[in-house]
């Protein structure tokens, strides 16, 4: 059976056709395209703080409003490298339209991003948030707070550890003391006129002076060959080593670790895959507070723990927006006495879980022997153990957290645990059971539990994860920003600000 094939018809094609009137970018870019949203928003904000960054004089500069548009649109379209943005300006009609057919090179783009936007991009971000509030897209009734670790632009194998410095300095101190003791045995008379020396704390200058004293005292004495060799090695190496340690301690500034290639970055555990297998990498802790996946505030921190970031994050609201949220919703990583106390004083509602909140909701996970479940008689200020024995208050201890926050713990102890049938389950210590109770934290936990289990609280808890964690997922997974391109916390804050602005414009354009 034969079939007749129909004639195939193709559309006209001629790539050498010249247009009498070439099309304009205005005609080629749809009115609803995100690039128009970028242009409209940047045109509506005050960029005088950026203009003030230019010293004036010399050759003309590219207009900062144009460069800001190009950078924001670059981050919106996953162009994070200055060279990628430079190439896009030459080949992408959206970038050409934004730049007005200007072609700044990657050095100009990078210099604008790293220098001109320093200390002023947060002002730009705040103006964008104000526009969102005026448009009714967001408010500050509730915000969802969380943090994520983003890898620093640093070598993964060159690091400084505070514990290593501490251990090595202790080793130097111990060996220096041994040398001093040996010298006292060999040349005690020569050391009689010297000031008694302690070696608990050593520095480069102290080591130099001590070695000089030892060297002078041993002149002309019969000295063990190994000691002579050690003295030479010590004189040559220890002062330089301690000077290096002093410089590194300045870079650490109280942190446990830092990178040699980006000293502002700290080493943090990074969740690398869906199984949460982790690696230790130089990174920054980025905090976002969001509403409907709009970013209302961002801060960057050098410590891995979310607990210590909340206060600075809220203070940033006060500094930039001149107002604070009515309620903050966060996970148990922020549930500390200091944070509850701070939010209470700021009159901010704290919908923040504490560590044992989820376990307390499940009866199967309740342990009647834990101190949280022991009965407390508020009138007599005493606890009762599971067997009904009174636990009286012995003393009150003052403690200070790493951030300097003062805590107060009351110590209670049972009178006699001998022969108690529950002793193996309740108390494994040799002495009578003792508990340490923070009554201020107990008060906040009680209040927080009632708030979280309210209808409003349950609504906030269920909304938190998709809101703020969804925002991080969009930035890191969908838009592939998993590592900073710039070094130093000031420049990392600029990149974070560009990410936050681009996320907000992305939501407006959706």
Q: What pLDDT does 14 receive?
A: 78
pLDDT at 191: 59
Instruction: Give 218-224's long-range contacts (Cβ < 8 A, gap of 24+).
Output: 218/183, 218/186, 218/187, 221/186, 221/187, 222/186, 223/186, 224/182
pLDDT of amino acid 358: 86
pLDDT the model gives residue 482? 94
As given in the structure block, the two tokens for residue 57 are 């004089």
Q: Is residue 26 exposed (0-12), middle (13-18) or buried (19+ Cβ within 10 Å)? A: exposed
pTM of the model: 0.89
Helices (H), 337-454: 337-345, 357-361, 423-426, 439-452
Residues 141 and 326: beta-carbon distance below 8 Å: yes
Output the CA torsion sign for 200, 206, 211, 212.
Answer: negative
What phi, psi does 194 have (nearest 5°)? Answer: -85, 155
Neighbours of 261 (CB within 10 A): 16
pLDDT along the chain (510 residues), means of 10: 76 75 81 94 96 88 96 97 96 95 96 96 97 96 96 92 93 87 73 64 84 78 78 87 93 93 94 70 97 98 95 97 96 96 96 90 74 91 92 94 93 91 85 94 95 96 96 95 96 98 94
**What angle (nearest 5°) sits at the alpha carbon of residue 278, between those of residues 276 and 281?**
140
């Amino acid at each position: 059976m034969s079939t007749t094939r129909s004639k195939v018809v193709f559309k006209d094609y001629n790539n050498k056709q010249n247009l009498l009137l070439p099309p304009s970018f205005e005609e080629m870019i749809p009115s609803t395209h995100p690039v128009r949203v970028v242009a409209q928003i940047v045109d509506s904000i005050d960029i005088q703080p950026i203009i003030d960054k230019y010293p004036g004089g010399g050759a003309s500069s590219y207009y900062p409003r144009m460069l800001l548009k190009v950078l924001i649109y670059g981050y919106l379209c996953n162009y994070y490298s200055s060279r990628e943005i430079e190439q896009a300006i030459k080949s992408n009609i959206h970038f050409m339209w934004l730049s007005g057919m200007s072609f700044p090179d990657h050095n100009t783009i990078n210099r604008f991003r790293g220098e001109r936007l320093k200390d002023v991009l947060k002002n730009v971000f705040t103006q964008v948030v104000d526009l969102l509030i005026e448009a009714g897209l967001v408010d500050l009734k509730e915000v969802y707070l969380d943090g994520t670790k983003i890898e620093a632009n640093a070598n993964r194998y060159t690091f400084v550890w505070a514990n290593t410095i501490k251990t090595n300095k202790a080793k130097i101190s111990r060996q220096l003391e041994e040398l001093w003791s040996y010298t006292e045995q060999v040349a005690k008379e020569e050391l009689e006129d010297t000031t008694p020396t302690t070696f608990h704390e050593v520095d480069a200058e102290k080591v130099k002076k001590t070695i000089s004293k030892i060297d002078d005292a041993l002149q002309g004495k019969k000295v063990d060959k190994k000691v002579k060799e050690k003295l030479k090695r010590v004189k040559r190496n220890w002062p330089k080593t301690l000077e290096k340690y002093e410089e590194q301690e300045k870079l650490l500034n109280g942190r446990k670790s830092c990178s040699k290639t980006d000293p502002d970055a700290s080493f943090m555990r990074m969740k690398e895959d869906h199984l949460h297998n982790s690696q230790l990498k130089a990174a920054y802790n980025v905090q976002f507070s969001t509403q409907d996946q709009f970013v209302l505030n961002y801060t960057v921190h050098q410590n891995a723990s979310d607990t210590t970031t909340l206060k600075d994050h809220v203070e940033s609201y006060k500094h930039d927006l001149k107002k604070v949220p009515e309620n903050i919703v966060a996970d148990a990583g922020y549930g500390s006495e200091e944070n509850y106390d701070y939010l209470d004083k700021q009159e901010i509602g704290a919908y923040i879980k504490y560590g044992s909140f989820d376990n307390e909701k499940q009866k199967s996970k309740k342990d009647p022997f834990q101190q949280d479940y022991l009965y407390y008689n508020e009138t007599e200020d005493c606890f009762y153990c599971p067997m009904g024995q009174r636990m009286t208050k012995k003393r009150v201890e003052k403690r200070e957290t790493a951030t300097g926050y003062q805590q107060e713990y009351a110590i209670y102890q049972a009178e006699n645990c001998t022969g108690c049938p529950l002793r193996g389950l309740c108390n494994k210590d040799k002495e009578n059971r003792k508990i340490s109770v923070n009554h201020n934290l107990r008060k906040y936990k009680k209040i927080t539990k009632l708030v979280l289990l309210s209808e409003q609280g349950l609504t906030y808890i269920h909304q938190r994860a998709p809101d703020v964690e969804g925002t991080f997922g969009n930035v890191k997974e969908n838009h592939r920003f998993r590592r900073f391109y710039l070094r130093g916390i000031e420049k990392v804050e600029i990149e974070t600000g560009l990410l936050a602005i681009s996320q907000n414009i992305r939501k407006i354009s959706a």
